[in-house]
Structure 1
Amino acid sequence: MKTLTALFATAALALSANVALAKDVQPDEVVKLVNAKSIKSLDELKAAAIATHPGATVTDSELEDEYGRYIYKVELRDAQNVEWDVDLDAKTGEVLKDAQDT
């Protein structure tokens, strides 16, 4: 029983550590990253997200630092009123996730 308890405790700690490693990037830091060419401009990233669903509109977006990698997360609503979650690598613009919001 102790082994099982220890296993659950370890799993809980690992999950909470993963959450702590993903953080929102503040606006002043975004400007610095764009100016340093560390990430694409937010306009370029939004355009890349919209290109996955032409005609969609952006309902929300945020830049996160996940394990030292900048991920631009965009929520879209298409012409059929379907919501989409699109994640992009903020440095390259590569689409990492394109999934219908459930």
Structure 2
Amino acid sequence: MKKLIALSCAAFLGLGSAAVFADDDVSSAEAAKLVEEGKIKALDSLEEKALSVKAGQITDRDLEHEYGRYIYKLDIRADDGTDWDIDIDASTGEVLKTEQDD
């Protein structure tokens, strides 16, 4: 019984700490304000950069605040039909991740 309680507590604490590191979606109004303040780049300029990395069509786009920085997360369907995830630092324009989606 003590083992079950200990496991339950560990699972509960693990879920709580995962929430601290969870992604936070940024609303379009907040994104517009951040662009206006010069804190992040406009999405359209970074979409062009993503498409220069992987040609295709953007199927989804999100701005998230993650680990203290803003990241544009773009899903691209490449010309050959494969799906790709591209993460771009919204402030610097640096491509952080290019990964084929499963």
TM-score by length of 1: 0.86
After TM superposition, the structure 1 stretch with the greater mean CA deviation from structure 2, 58-67 or 4-13, is 4-13
| 1:4 CA displacement | 3.8
Superposed CA offset, 1:48-82 (max 9, x none): 1111113x111110111113310100000111010
2:74 match: 74
Paired with 1:29 and 1:9, the residues of 2 have a C-alpha distance of 32
Secondary structure of the corresponding residue to residue 86 of structure 1: strand
Partner of 2:64: 64
Count of paired positions: 99
What are the ranges of 5 or more consecutive residues in structure 1 without an aligned counterpart?
A: none
Root-mean-square deviation (CA), in Å? 1.4
Task: Show the counterpart of 2:11.
Answer: 8
Aligned partners of 1:53 and 1:33: how far apart in 2?
Answer: 26
Q: Which structure is larger by alpha-carbon Rg, 1 or 2?
A: 2
Bigger mean CA deviation after superposition, 28-37 or 82-91: 28-37
Alignment TM-score, normalising by the size of structure 2:
0.86
Residue number in structure 2 paired with 1:38:
39
Unaligned runs of 5+ in 2: none
What is the aligned-residue identity percentage?
39
Aligned to 1:95: 95
Task: Specify the code of the residue in structure 2 equivalent to 1:11.
Answer: G
Provide the C-alpha distance between the structure 1 equivalents of 2:79 and 2:66, rounded to a whole number of angstroms: 31
Please give the alpha-carbon distance, in whole angstroms, between the structure 2 residues aligned to 1:93 and 1:47.
11
* Matched position secondary structure for 1:60: strand
